[in-house]
Amino acid sequence: MKHCDKSLLVLSLIFFKHFTQSNAWPSLSSLHNYNNSNNQPAIGLIKNQTDLLQQDFQKSIEIQLQASKNSKHDELFYTLGNGQAYSDPVSVQRIGSNGPLLLQDHHLIENLAHFARERISERVVHAKGAGAHGVFTVTLRQITNLPLIGKKTPISIRFSTVGGEQGSGDQARDPRGFAIKFRTQKGIWDLVMNNTPVFFLRDPAKFPNFIHTQKRNPRTHLKDPNIVWDYFVHNPEALHQFMRLFSDAGTPQGFVHMHGFTGHSYRWVQKDGSWVYVKLFAETNQGIHNFTASESMKILGENPDYATEDLFNRIESKKFPSWTMYAQILTPDQAEKFKYNILDLTKDWPFDLVEKHEIGKFELNQNPQNFFAEIEQIAFSPSNLVDGWEPSTDPVLQARLFSYPDAQRHRLGVNFQQIPVNCPLNPVVNLQRDGLSVLLGNQGSRMNYISSYESKMNLQPKAYDESNHTIWTGGAIRSLSEITEIDFDQPRSYWNSLTSNDKKSLTT
């Protein structure tokens, strides 16, 4: 930078400080004092001005957050987006009482422009949902290397239906999403679960096709049962999930009377690198209660937001819903000998074959203060992992590791992880910079590449030795889409577990 450029920078900083803080021009003597004997800018003073500017940035964020939380609205004054006080929010500027509007009415223009951009893309699946915040408490220790052990961890949960749009009914016959965000001291950990232990497919290439059958006919723009059943008939591996869906379990009484399942198998890893396959299961402490088909249709017509309202009212009245978390565990050797392919999302691990172990409890005890900021903008992904929790080679899970964060980048922007509800509790230090809606300082003046002249970037060693990991696939992936007799084993067991009334509900 040339000397004149540096001088201009100093003058600009001085002007900014004096004008914003005292609304006065700096004196000539103050300008003179910012030069040393060699007539060069005083670097220490420039740094001081930079620090003050950063403090102003931080202060502005804190002030806006505090204003959002302020429940005493009579203490706040109406302003424009830039903070300027505005005296009448419903007036417009025009020529006379019948003349045209004026372009200088920036309040009206700002309001109309923002209104036209209020809506963001809805989720391509799980668009309709509700959520709340709470805490997870570990009850069983020494089971893994996860950073939850011995701690109470803040969580956020979003429940949802799968196929419907944002305005659709909560009580539609549909699987329910059950996503949990754990805010650990070692990063964000997401469990993206459903209320059933299995799913409609085990081949990720089928997922977009299947979801299209749950949406609207491209010609009529109507929900089309013909395409739903066309998919079902030609993909019999979906039988188990379809049976669950068309039983009364497909219409749970709200979000609090249902379980949650990871569905996929994951890997729990110890510090020595040893690991086991695991599935997690959240058991509702409110008991399982479902609507019949006729009850569900009645609720849909009377109150399409039944589940959302029920969840909010329970928490608001301090009747906090809770769940108990269990783990099912198989060693790699047990997995190879297991009756079912542990990488097949259409297969459950029956409790009589793989026992469950309690690992913790969680409770929802706080409603969102702003639904859009805390629930609509919350972004879950199975790729949000922490040390001790690793994905298996389940192909649907592997596809979700990419698809979920990619969908969030489309829906919320490339910097979606800077949105407060998605922010980790530990510092984020990487080489990602810029893009739309940078919220948190853009990682300051740190270089955006591995620099040889800056101080060395600290690298945290892996918490365990990955070289000890054993890989087992056994050929399951190559034959995954083939239909065999075992694909009908669990649907048969599910049918036999139903009562006569449940069987009648399923078949009528």
Positions marked active-site: 126, 194
Say if residue 404 carries a ligand binding annotation.
yes
DSSP lists the bridge partners of residue 322 as 363
- Residue 419 CB: number of other CB atoms within 10 A? 19
**Which stretches within 278-317 are classed as H helix?**
293-302, 306-316
Query: In this structure, which amino acid lies at residue 328?
Result: Q
Phi, psi of 260 (to 5 degrees): -130, 140
Q: Alpha-carbon distance 257 to 291, whole Å? A: 11
Query: In this structure, which amino acid lies at residue 266?
Result: Y
Q: Alpha-carbon distance 423 to 430, whole Å? A: 14
Q: Residue 199: CA atoms inside 13 Å, Cβ hemisphere, count?
A: 25
Q: Alpha-carbon distance 49 to 112, whole Å? A: 38
Under 8 Å between Cβ of 435 and 242? no
Which residue, among 297, 211, 203, 199, has the nearest Cα to 245 in the 3D structure? Answer: 199
Which residue, among 43, 15, 16, 19, has the nearest Cα to 31 in the 3D structure? Answer: 15
Phi, psi of 478 (to 5 degrees): -65, -30
Q: Alpha-carbon distance 179 to 364, whole Å? A: 13
Phi, psi of 414 (to 5 degrees): -65, -25
Instruction: Tell me the DSSP string of 36-64.
Output: -TTS-B-HHHHHHHHHHHHHHHHHHHHHH
Chain centroid to Cα 76, Å, comes to 32
Query: In this structure, which amino acid lies at residue 38?
Result: N
What does each C-alpha distance from 251 to 8, 180, 334 come to in angstroms? 68, 21, 35
Under 8 Å between Cβ of 193 and 432? no
Q: Alpha-carbon distance 341 to 197, whole Å? A: 14
Query: In this structure, which amino acid lies at residue 52?
Result: L
- Tokens linked to 368: 């969102």
- Tokens linked to 65: 């957050």
Q: Alpha-carbon distance 122 to 127, whole Å? A: 6
What does each C-alpha distance from 217 to 168, 169, 223, 277 come to in angstroms? 16, 19, 6, 40
Q: Alpha-carbon distance 504 to 388, whole Å? A: 45
Q: Binding site membership: which residues?
A: 404
Q: Binding site membership for heme: which residues?
A: 404
